[in-house]
Amino acid sequence: MSKTVNFFKYQGTGNDFIMIDGRGANFQELTQNEIAFLCHRRFGIGGDGLIILRNKDGYDFDMDYHNSDGNRGSMCGNGGRCTVAFAYDLGIIKNRTTFFAPDGEHEAEFIDHNNIRLKMQDLKTIENHKLGPFMNTGSPHLIVFKNTNDEFDVYSEGKNIRYNDTYKKEGTNVNFVKINNNYIDVFTYERGVEDVTYSCGTGTVASAIAANIYNGFSSPVTAQTKGGILKVDFEKNGSESFSNIWLQGNGMKVFSGSVSF
């Protein structure tokens, strides 16, 4: 028996996601292999991840996030903003929302599709690893600072770090950061996608906080990613404690359709 899936494609600074409305009684659940197939850029729709918007008691909606390999993923900042945009387009929310995600409760503010503010979880612990600071901003991230004029291979270096002995159990996302006068450049290798992505929201948050600690950047921090600009606001409560963290950027519908398989 074949399945037919109605989908919407969204992107946030180039991080692209297959969005599915999973609230209806007729929604057919997807297996890990089916999700991986839909995310495949040659044989499926293509996407860095797949998000199913579901009902959840006490919240406007639930963000059920899956990596492109089909496995359930940890929090995705760009995916979170895209889910907020999706919920707005579906008429579920207006300008403010409280929803549930893989790392718990989140608030968000929808200004327009170019400006969506997503509140992230507080950060209380930062570890100093051999290659740079390591922290969990909803997903685990290692920050590796590079000089402005450095030439490097994001894919090769990121993959080597992601699979080295330190991180091989759970894996980590790897963010290479260049410091400029008034902004940071962020290049990310993402676990689950197992490739370089155009942008990573939780990675940009981690990079902005690292830029504050090690380079004196004050809030808000502007980050240039391959897919566009993100801004990170935060309050610093101690050397390793941050709260009221907000990630701001776009969340745009690209196209919609249906696929049978």
Find where tokens 């496995």 sit: 71
From the list 76, 101, 135, 196, the catalytic residue is 76
Q: Is 76 a catalytic residue?
A: yes
State how far the Cα of 12 lies from the Cα of 174, in Å rounded to an integer. Answer: 19
For 2, half-sphere exposure in the C-beta direction (CA atoms, 13 angstrom radius) is: 6
Q: How far is CA 178 from the centre of its chain?
A: 20
Q: Is 39 a catalytic residue?
A: no
- Going by the DSSP 8-state scheme, the letter that residue 121 receives in this structure is P
- Going by the DSSP 8-state scheme, the letter that residue 61 receives in this structure is -
Helices 77-90 and 201-215, packing angle to 10 deg: 130
Find where tokens 């920050």 sit: 143
From the list 5, 200, 205, 232, the catalytic residue is 200
**Known catalytic residues?**
76, 200
